[in-house]
Structure 1
């Protein structure tokens, strides 16, 4: 009897369908967490073991056991240095069940050990770790038993390790910290304390499995358009058996269900499964569109057993670094789905000196700070660590691009074979861990190593022959090893050898990225930000310090400490000439503050003024300049620093100014050669009709001149729409008594507002304002403050002593006679009576 081939195919499809629908026995790997298994710790050679937390650090364990004071308080840092100079032991006992022991492979896994650690199980050495940035694992099937297993982790301190390694180096390098693969900032930075940590800093667990397991899933995007995305899953399978299995790659949302039979061999198997997504929803960065994510799942099935499953969230997008030659060099910008992206963001540092203190809420807060300031990119700086998966998950979800440094910063590094192999494994692990995240835009070799060697005369530390060897080691690491890893494991992304390509002191605007530290380090005035020769293609670092607000200072000081000259305030200023530099800039533009609290306030207003000037200059230079990332977003402890958000998540004046300067629509007025020039800057993808309003008034609100112009806001660019000599605007009026209100309107809606002054703040003839305020309760955790003044209020700062929360606006200029409504959302707690609240405000005149 003849059977139609179509019938055979249909019956086979039905067979496969029924087989896939039949409940599968769960034979996926078992995970047995050891995080909560009653860990204890002690100093080496001590018999007094105390409770410990894992993940954690020795500093926090000592603090939790009341053996040390709060590390960030006053100048306790100085008294706690002994901790990082000692060796420590962590241990625990655990049991497993008999069924667990029946697995073919039983692996002890440490996702992070800090840093030089020897691991023993039941007295047997199983791991010798020497890299903070790597995961460590060992098969313990031959050593583990049913009950009373003893797991010990012995940490050797990094101080001694660095000294020994440096002494053994044929050409000793000038920084000890480079010899340990450990976050550089642990050894102190010009914004961070010296806390040389040790401990089990990421989860520890036992993974038991039989047969086969999925060890990696990489989703490669071969071709992407709005009509079709052609993808492939590159799946790594570790097998202890030879067997035929079914590999299923699926995405429910996209109706993808690709299945293929795979013949596994013992060892590592690499399988490729191609699939398409029709009319995909593309992933966009913040401000350009929705950052849509797809979940791709891979399952490994043998007969009626689910052997393993792995899932990845991806964003379907085309992202590339564009470096096209032009008359001045070459461009340097990111292009997402065919759209040039002006990168607006900041440099991000670790949130704590002790990573175990950081939880998911902290990550959500810091990412929200970036979003609230209209950012679309963060740079993960090379002196910290490769961040937690959750950080990148949030960046994926919110559309924040990530400039990812490898973990090398501000020094030269060893070139010995063992060191380089350690780095290679570190790079491979982290590239593979992070490569599926659509947020990761670029891999960068290091922070400032190239510029340090080329321009900061680091070679003076060495003889001519040794200098050649050290540079050769640099090239092996940053021009060979790391790009080879990126090309092999994440080839679609760009690799950039070092940030920056250019520093200050010579023209920086031909190509590549720039760290412009003429302001602050060279102590040049803020006006250098405006000079064309100081605006590069991509401004990846620049900044200025300020102090955190008084509530933050109160948290780490006693009243007697609240002076710039106190030992405590000096301990929380890590730049060697930090306060003198702030002083110098204050005297340029402001009257000297009358007291410490006024100094704190003026430092923030000063910082905001300078960085706002820089950001607007960079955006006005679009599309020549296509990125601006100021230093820095956050702090790792309470400190005077370049951050825009302090350690306690309180916005400085700078963060409010950044939010406005990073808006998708920006009107920016600047004085050039005695002429007022007005620019319209847009990150929108469509042209828009707008109305430009210019109004000159005195500080009492008397209107002197005004002009309204219909303008076209051109998509994704900057346009100079008005040039007018100052004399034609102010005529015979005193410039110290004037403000030019520059506003961009969409109908009755203000899309951007940016007042311009003709003199420095110290020269403005301000009067003491009579501010009228009214507080109303919108909800138990949100207030509204209505404000009005008949005269100009310069840089008004609002605060509630008894409440902690976030203002919708702060440190802004109140123009005469206008009404302002500011919202305040409480971080914690609720209020039920507005009459009990006391609103405090300070403006520039109050500091004289």
Structure 2
């Protein structure tokens, strides 16, 4: 087979009544992969939609139609040569023509399209892709089929386009259009490998194996002949023959010398090149190359005394899932590069995550994403692409769903990181609780996709990975049997916190597996400076530019409501910005520490969300400019392999010692009740040995857990290098010193070392170094120091910084300094 990309030389033109006069009929070059927005941005014809209120100025693009054209200079097909034009992804509703010949119509960005152009190539040169407004198409489908409920006003459930293209409570409403994945020409003879699906397992005798399922397509230009498929992996080679009448085969290769692939934190991630070759006896026809990993995966949902667990097992070992939800890393998808993904996944590893859930309102990610996860041992939970909506089960949607499911399930089989398929996000929950049932009547809404179509496709294409109907869902429960969001059964979403109640309510339930929970916070200051700058220069949370980058319904009001009982509501915007970031970090870490303290009853926590797709106030850990928010450091602490946390058990305070390693954790545990100035009022100690992959509870004696002065004392627990500090009251009620630390700054090879020593208890010491250098990074944050303790922060920067600036607000912050402000509504700076 000969193949080459068709990425250069394309032109784009906008059509339709909504197009501004200055752009109507104008042709611009477009790099492929590329879309309407990237082409016009590259040409300087539209402003950056991520900056200021520019998103609102580009609403005209929702209704525009787009023509992509290429002068195709291709030689004619040779004797018995098949020539295919392949589009890896068209966004979304399009007609493809070569000359006057219509090759086909597309209406699904989540799948590829292949056209036989052998009879036309060399004679026709004008390749045209006319992309229509997906919004207009979806509205027409809604009128034809009848409306279906959705969490958003646009009919995103009527077209197979990335749901968050139409806006979300953290994302812009841009509705891109174009050739969002590669375009190529393939020339071949006789037969080609139409599909290769390696399905791995481990035999009862412990020998890893792979069953390589091969589908071939014959050209139809020659008499069919017998074909040979040869597979090689881990030093072993096997082959089978496909008879002239057949189009598929299975080659099984046992690999006794192959080591197992493990999640990060549980072992190594050996990857083995798998080579598959297709021949017709003498001539090489096609080949396929991927790396695979040998491992087994299952979900343990065996009912127990507490309900129905949802415990991930890899190679037979139960794994506590330390996860985050993943959205597309840039709303303009064609700008997501392998390098960008590498940075993001390394940030996930740095936060001690072991799983990413690819959320159903986005896309099926590129091979780059899964390959990078394979290499790092980052597990992947993959949603089918449905979210927060009722989806019609009529044609053509039903056929499109099946085609996209079959293609993507098959495409992703090589990746050991992919361990769970999930039927969509909050659709079954929405049907039961969000008023959909009454609105729908007898209309279809997607239940058949979750309970029939996707399980059937997986059973046929990839039966090796577990499947869940939805997130949340209760295993094996029909609609009338058990609520899908019952915390005692299966997966659970906790959104009462953030939307309605205080984050301390996380401790009121013990979910078997929490697959969504989170709390909002604004992006870093440098990101605000770049993209969210008010026209008058006066920063305020009520500024129209700031509000344009706050998509959540009542988001700022919920931020203030969350702040009030813990830190108060600072008046100055800079303080409010720090306080909301800190409160986000505290809320999420409180939940994680609670969940981890209940292992193995609670088997996982997946934070909403790791990343952002543009600069916005959101639930993200890393903001849209790729900068770590304080929440990133909170995740790293709360998901650490070994961790101490103070919890309530049976009405009393206790310690939970969490050991998520393969070795016992032993040492002398010391716990004190001490004043903020460091005077010890009571003390206890004991030698402890926490078994591998376990949690040990330690009851605190009454003299330690009972305060003499609740406003001025804390519990401090130490075991080796790990430490936990807990107050008896909320910070806003505590007598914390407003200036509790001494600071020294020294230059280092990479930037600076900032040493902070506490004279009095210092809560959540943090350096907001992006305020001085947008590219600067600090190694740690949110460090609480009892009196007498110190920490050295390492700041990496190429810029010469003032030591005094590093040692004081607004760069060096603590929770203490917030409490000097009156708890009133935040206004302008």
TM-score by length of 1: 0.90
Matches within 5 A, 1:712-791: 712-725=689-702, 728-729=703-704, 733-745=708-720, 750=721, 752-769=722-739, 771-779=741-749, 781-791=750-760
Give secondary structure in 2 for the equivalent of 1:519. Answer: helix
In structure 2, C-alpha distance between the alignment counterparts of 1:33 and 1:732, rounded to whole Å: 70
Cα gap change, 1:126/1:518 in structure 2, threshold over 3 Å: closer, same or farther?
Answer: same
Q: 1:53 aligns with which of 16, 21, 31?
A: 31
In structure 2, C-alpha distance between the alignment counterparts of 1:567 and 1:690, rounded to whole Å: 55
Q: 2:199 aligns with which of 203, 220, 224?
A: 220
Q: 1:631 aligns with which of 608, 612, 621?
A: 608
Q: 2:521 aligns with which of 546, 552, 563?
A: 546
In structure 1, C-alpha distance between the alignment counterparts of 2:252 and 2:366, rounded to whole Å: 29
In structure 1, C-alpha distance between the alignment counterparts of 2:513 and 2:27, rounded to whole Å: 52
Matches within 5 A, 1:682-693: 682-693=659-670
Q: 2:331 aligns with which of 333, 345, 353?
A: 353
In structure 2, C-alpha distance between the alignment counterparts of 1:222 and 1:642, rounded to whole Å: 37
Matched, 1:703 2:683: no
Matched, 1:469 2:438: no
Q: 1:36 aligns with which of 1, 4, 8?
A: 8
- Please report how far the alpha carbon of residue 74 of structure 1 lies from its aligned counterpart in structure 2 after TM superposition: 1.0
Question: Counterpart of 2:303?
Answer: 325
For the 8 Å contact 1:133–1:385, the answer to whether it is kept is: yes
Cα gap change, 1:157/1:258 in structure 2, threshold over 3 Å: closer, same or farther?
Answer: same
Give secondary structure in 2 for the equivalent of 1:640. Answer: coil
Question: Counterpart of 1:12?
Answer: none
Q: How many aligned residue pairs are there?
A: 794
CA distances 1:10-55 after superposition (whole Å, capped 9, x unpaired): xxxxxxxxxxxxxxxxxxx111211123434333594321111211
CA distances 1:657-682 after superposition (whole Å, capped 9, x unpaired): 11111112121112456622011122
In structure 2, C-alpha distance between the alignment counterparts of 1:56 and 1:651, rounded to whole Å: 28
Cα gap change, 1:145/1:635 in structure 2, threshold over 3 Å: closer, same or farther?
Answer: same
TM-score by length of 2: 0.92
Question: Counterpart of 2:102?
Answer: 125
Question: Counterpart of 2:826?
Answer: none
Question: Counterpart of 1:570?
Answer: 547
- Please report how far the alpha carbon of residue 806 of structure 1 lies from its aligned counterpart in structure 2 after TM superposition: 2.3
- Please report how far the alpha carbon of residue 836 of structure 1 lies from its aligned counterpart in structure 2 after TM superposition: 9.8
Question: Counterpart of 2:59?
Answer: 81
For the 8 Å contact 1:675–1:724, the answer to whether it is kept is: no
For the 8 Å contact 1:670–1:756, the answer to whether it is kept is: no
Question: Counterpart of 2:170?
Answer: 191
In structure 2, C-alpha distance between the alignment counterparts of 1:683 and 1:700, rounded to whole Å: 33
In structure 2, C-alpha distance between the alignment counterparts of 1:520 and 1:234, rounded to whole Å: 46
Cα gap change, 1:222/1:734 in structure 2, threshold over 3 Å: closer, same or farther?
Answer: closer
Q: 1:824 aligns with which of 777, 787, 795?
A: 795
Give secondary structure in 2 for the equivalent of 1:570. Answer: helix
CA distances 1:134-183 after superposition (whole Å, capped 9, x unpaired): 1011001111116x711111011011101111111156555611111001
Matches within 5 A, 1:122-161: 122-145=99-122, 149-161=125-137
For the 8 Å contact 1:248–1:257, the answer to whether it is kept is: yes
In structure 2, C-alpha distance between the alignment counterparts of 1:422 and 1:505, rounded to whole Å: 29
Give the unaligned 5+ runs of structure 2. 18-23, 822-829
Give secondary structure in 2 for the equivalent of 1:644. Answer: coil
- Please report how far the alpha carbon of residue 330 of structure 1 lies from its aligned counterpart in structure 2 after TM superposition: 2.1
- Please report how far the alpha carbon of residue 838 of structure 1 lies from its aligned counterpart in structure 2 after TM superposition: 4.5
CA distances 1:357-394 after superposition (whole Å, capped 9, x unpaired): 21112101111111111111111111011111111111
Give secondary structure in 1 for the equivalent of 2:711. Answer: helix
CA distances 1:207-258 after superposition (whole Å, capped 9, x unpaired): 111122212222223434684113322222223352344432112xx22122
In structure 2, C-alpha distance between the alignment counterparts of 1:732 and 1:476, rounded to whole Å: 57
- Please report how far the alpha carbon of residue 513 of structure 1 lies from its aligned counterpart in structure 2 after TM superposition: 0.4
- Please report how far the alpha carbon of residue 732 of structure 1 lies from its aligned counterpart in structure 2 after TM superposition: 6.3
Cα gap change, 1:167/1:40 in structure 2, threshold over 3 Å: closer, same or farther?
Answer: closer
CA distances 1:445-467 after superposition (whole Å, capped 9, x unpaired): 110010111122212324xxxx2
Cα gap change, 1:617/1:731 in structure 2, threshold over 3 Å: closer, same or farther?
Answer: closer
Give secondary structure in 1 for the equivalent of 2:763. Answer: strand
Question: Counterpart of 1:237?
Answer: 216
Cα gap change, 1:222/1:608 in structure 2, threshold over 3 Å: closer, same or farther?
Answer: closer
Give the unaligned 5+ runs of structure 1. 1-28
Question: Counterpart of 2:237?
Answer: 257
Cα gap change, 1:399/1:568 in structure 2, threshold over 3 Å: closer, same or farther?
Answer: same
- Please report how far the alpha carbon of residue 736 of structure 1 lies from its aligned counterpart in structure 2 after TM superposition: 1.4
Question: Counterpart of 2:780?
Answer: 809
Question: Counterpart of 1:484?
Answer: 456
For the 8 Å contact 2:707–2:728, the answer to whether it is kept is: no
In structure 1, C-alpha distance between the alignment counterparts of 2:149 and 2:582, rounded to whole Å: 41
Matches within 5 A, 1:89-128: 89-97=67-75, 101-102=78-79, 104-128=81-105
Question: Counterpart of 2:363?
Answer: 385
For the 8 Å contact 2:230–2:238, the answer to whether it is kept is: yes
Cα gap change, 1:732/1:61 in structure 2, threshold over 3 Å: closer, same or farther?
Answer: closer
Give secondary structure in 1 for the equivalent of 2:197. Answer: strand
In structure 2, C-alpha distance between the alignment counterparts of 1:204 and 1:616, rounded to whole Å: 47
In structure 2, C-alpha distance between the alignment counterparts of 1:48 and 1:374, rounded to whole Å: 49
Give secondary structure in 2 for the equivalent of 1:845. Answer: helix
Cα gap change, 1:474/1:538 in structure 2, threshold over 3 Å: closer, same or farther?
Answer: same
Matched, 1:844 2:815: yes
Question: Counterpart of 1:20?
Answer: none
Matched, 1:557 2:532: yes
Give secondary structure in 1 for the equivalent of 2:768. Answer: strand
Question: Counterpart of 1:416?
Answer: 394
- Please report how far the alpha carbon of residue 351 of structure 1 lies from its aligned counterpart in structure 2 after TM superposition: 1.0
- Please report how far the alpha carbon of residue 706 of structure 1 lies from its aligned counterpart in structure 2 after TM superposition: 2.9
In structure 2, C-alpha distance between the alignment counterparts of 1:95 and 1:680, rounded to whole Å: 67
Cα gap change, 1:436/1:152 in structure 2, threshold over 3 Å: closer, same or farther?
Answer: same
Question: Counterpart of 2:825?
Answer: none
CA distances 1:761-809 after superposition (whole Å, capped 9, x unpaired): 1112122326433334443x45432222322222222133342232111
Q: 1:165 aligns with which of 136, 141, 160?
A: 141
- Please report how far the alpha carbon of residue 833 of structure 1 lies from its aligned counterpart in structure 2 after TM superposition: 8.4
Q: 1:520 aligns with which of 470, 492, 498?
A: 498
Question: Counterpart of 1:398?
Answer: 376
